[in-house]
Amino acid sequence: MAPVVSNQVSIAFHEGDLLRSQFEGWIADRMQINVEKRLLTLDLNMILDPFENRPGKQWWAGEHVGKYLHAATHAWRYTGDERLKSRMDETARRLIARQLENGYLGTYKDSDQFRQGDGLGWDGPVWDVWTHKYALIGLLTYYQATADQASITACRQSADLMYDHYVTRGKSLRLASSHLGMAATSVLESIAILYRETGESRYLEFCHRIVQAWEDESDPETWMYEDGCRLLTSLLDTGDVYRTANRKAYEMLSNLVGLLELYRIDPDERYLRACLNAWNDIASKRLYITGTASYFEQFTQDGRMPPGQAVGEGCVTVTWLQLTKHLFELTGDVQYADEIERTIYNALPAAQSPLTGEVSYFAPLVGQKHYNGHDVKLTPAISCCSSSIPRGLAMIPLVASGTLNGHPALLQYIPGRHVMSYHANDEQKKVTLTVKGDFPQSGDFEVGVTPESTERFTLVLRVPPWADGYSARINGSESLAVPESRLIEIDREWQPGDTITVNMPLDIRTVPHTDVTSDAVAFVRGPQVLATDTALDGSNVPDGNWWGNHLHSHTTNQDGKPREFHLVAFADAGQHKEAYSVLHDGVAQNES
């Protein structure tokens, strides 16, 4: 269903035909665990109770319904699972039924609704706009997939109520939440999407008011903090997320995702430049080797990447993935596809228990994964990350393959069937790419190319940055050169039955930990960071209740003496909440 307002900038990448695609292998198994053990089993009564029995028992308890709808809808788009559809329908129907006459779609009692705080404190009734943001994101995603009119109507009514508060009456958005107002101003994402879907000019006006709220020096916070929030101008001036606002990673990234949604339909180049500056700063200075950021939920200072229990809040992992996805869609730059690969093979599945589908709030490099550990302390018993990680897992097919600059493109070598559209002779055509192999366990596989008929077009393959020795041949003979861009563009006449044979050596390599206080290294194989695990019995995976059967051995010198390391994927490590380690001291980086 086409939106009312089309993109006002060119879009380099478009997702593939998700429903006709079918994925297999390690990463597809983790996606299916997300469906079967999380999205189909989560207690809907628990997450809807704060709406159906106001007030909720937790200030931010309302976020989970919208996050669930977002995750379930994306999963339904590629599975077509009618069990999911039934739960989505029920969730949307029950949520909308609890909307008040004035459009209110939160969980607070009357006297607490849209309360103002000091812009700093988080433990109080200052999460109302945040809740509405997620309710709208969930309902808008559901609407985009189903064309459900009740959902878009509920979104309009909710947005109109907030418009009245923060535009017509001029209430402070920065005082409407904690973290210098960044929780409230992250509603930008849903309001920008709503404008695109409806074309109602007041929603674009609302977006501009939100951006202005970052910089408005008349807000009281500016009197307490010399620079106030200044999200946009700080990132334009310094390009440093550590020096921006209060460094709170999840909320800041959420605002940047919203800013790129706005940029698509209101192309102010400052918006894109600020997001590029932030992304470059994170990727070069604050990104863990597992594809996540933050320690104790905040961006770290230059050169410091603590490896302990508070690495990589799950919500940060997912919003980092969203920001990177946006930038890849806008630019088509291969570096964004590279970082997507790093995240979806490491930090994202590492936060998911492959045994239960539960979520670990953090995913440390050294320590334990406490699946469900934060949830049991809360009422309702669900944390922000337990609602976020399923969203990220459900988004993997959106970034696996599609159309890049008009050409069919295979970006992530997930085994299975990838279906995508392209244009040839002014007609829309489809091509199916069938990846036969066991990536990432093996780097040897075939890509079967099946167009609807013999047709000339350009097919694009991404070469990962770690894939030294990458080779590819068409029909066993024609060898493909790897260009500097690492995007192989194959322009030829394709016919059903053509195959591309790919070989990517998956030798274990050492990668240094990026903390300046540490000389430790990690072992990495292909896209996967590896870990030692105290549950391993020598060279064997544990008997019984252990997910996965891939164990890697690597012999190298540690402290000058040979040692054989037994390793599993970081994403699979710690699945029984036992201790594990990604980092190893006394191993030279060039030893392998």
| Residue 218 pLDDT | 60
Q: Is residue 335 part of a domain?
A: no
Q: How many residues does the chain have?
A: 592
Q: In the predicted model, is pLDDT for residue 181 greater than 70?
A: yes
Tell me if the bond preceding 440 is cis, omega within 30° of 0.
Answer: yes
The confidence band for 217, taking pLDDT boundaries of 50, 70 and 90, is low
User: Per residue in 428-445, is it b (16+ CB within 10 Å) or e — as a string?
Assistant: ebebbbbbebebbbebeb
Q: In the predicted model, is pLDDT for residue 463 greater than 60?
A: yes
| Tally of CA atoms within 13 A in the half-sphere of 267 that contains its CB | 9
Tokens of 434: 């069938």
In DSSP terms, which residues pair with 510 in a beta bridge? 523
For a pLDDT cut of 90, what percent of the chain falls above it?
A: 90
Q: In the predicted model, is pLDDT for residue 326 greater than 90?
A: yes
Q: Is the domain of 408 the same as that of 448?
A: yes
Is residue 105 a contact partner of residue 95, using CB atoms and an 8 Å limit?
A: yes
Q: Is the domain of 418 the same as that of 495?
A: yes
The confidence band for 590, taking pLDDT boundaries of 50, 70 and 90, is low
Q: Is the domain of 189 the same as that of 106?
A: yes
**CA 158/CA 100 separation, integer angstroms:** 9
| Cα 561 from chain centroid (whole Å) | 41
Q: In the predicted model, is pLDDT for residue 591 greater than 50?
A: no
In DSSP terms, which residues pair with 295 in a beta bridge? 298, 311
Q: Is residue 294 part of a domain?
A: no
* Domain boundaries, position 430: 404-503
Residue that wins the pLDDT comparison between 147 and 218: 147
Q: Is the domain of 130 the same as that of 168?
A: yes
The last residue of a domain, from among 207, 229, 251: 229
Q: In the predicted model, is pLDDT for residue 272 greater than 60?
A: yes
Q: In the predicted model, is pLDDT for residue 407 greater than 60?
A: yes
| Tally of CA atoms within 13 A in the half-sphere of 414 that contains its CB | 26
| Residue 226 pLDDT | 42
| Residue 488 pLDDT | 98
The stretch 253-274 carries a mean pLDDT of: 98
Q: Is residue 477 part of a domain?
A: yes
Per-residue pLDDT tens digits for 546-581: 999 899 999 999 999 999 999 999 999 999 999 999
The stretch 322-341 carries a mean pLDDT of: 98
| Residue 219 pLDDT | 54
The confidence band for 223, taking pLDDT boundaries of 50, 70 and 90, is very low
Q: Is the domain of 556 the same as that of 521?
A: yes
In terms of C-beta distances under 8 Å and separation of at least 24 residues, what long-range contacts does 142-149 make, across chains too? 142/69, 142/73, 142/88, 142/92, 143/197, 144/1, 144/73, 144/197, 145/73, 145/76, 145/77, 146/73, 146/88, 147/1, 148/92
Per-residue pLDDT tens digits for 3-52: 999 999 999 999 999 999 999 999 999 999 999 999 999 999 999 999 99
Q: Is the domain of 524 the same as that of 537?
A: yes
Q: Is the domain of 141 the same as that of 101?
A: yes
Total number of domains constituting the chain: 3
The last residue of a domain, from among 181, 209, 229: 229
| Cα 372 from chain centroid (whole Å) | 20
Q: Is the domain of 47 the same as that of 187?
A: yes
**CA 334/CA 465 separation, integer angstroms:** 9
The confidence band for 478, taking pLDDT boundaries of 50, 70 and 90, is confident
Phi, psi angle pair for 472, to nearest 5°: -145, 140
Is residue 408 a contact partner of residue 335, using CB atoms and an 8 Å limit?
A: no
Q: Is the domain of 497 the same as that of 564?
A: no
Q: Is the domain of 92 the same as that of 187?
A: yes
| Alpha-helical regions (H) of 332-369 | 334-345, 347-350
Task: Find the helix or strand (DSSP H, E) in which 196 lies.
Answer: helix 188-198
Q: In the predicted model, is pLDDT for residue 124 greater than 60?
A: yes
Is residue 78 a contact partner of residue 414, using CB atoms and an 8 Å limit?
A: no
Q: Is residue 273 part of a domain?
A: no
| Residue 592 pLDDT | 41
Regarding beta strands 552-558 and 528-533, do their DSSP bridges make them parallel or antiparallel, or are they unpaired?
unpaired
- Among all chains, which residue has been given the structure tokens 């390391």? 565
Q: Is the domain of 432 the same as that of 519?
A: no
The stretch 109-136 carries a mean pLDDT of: 92
298-to-73, 251, 293, 385, 438 alpha-carbon distances in Å:
30, 10, 8, 15, 37
Using left for φ > 0, alpha for ψ between -120 and 50, and beta otherwise, residue 476 falls in left
| Residue 343 pLDDT | 99
Q: Is residue 182 part of a domain?
A: yes
Identify the burial level of 369 via C-beta atoms within 10 angstroms of its C-beta, where 0-12 means exposed, 13-18 middle and 19 or more buried: buried
The last residue of a domain, from among 447, 476, 503: 503
The stretch 514-528 carries a mean pLDDT of: 97
**CA 62/CA 474 separation, integer angstroms:** 52
Residue that wins the pLDDT comparison between 157 and 2: 157
336-to-173, 320, 332, 464, 513 alpha-carbon distances in Å:
32, 11, 8, 11, 21
**CA 508/CA 53 separation, integer angstroms:** 54
- Among all chains, which residue has been given the structure tokens 């380099």? 12
Q: Is the domain of 493 the same as that of 512?
A: no
Q: In the predicted model, is pLDDT for residue 448 greater than 60?
A: yes
* Residue partners of 484: CB distance under 8 A and separation at least 6: none
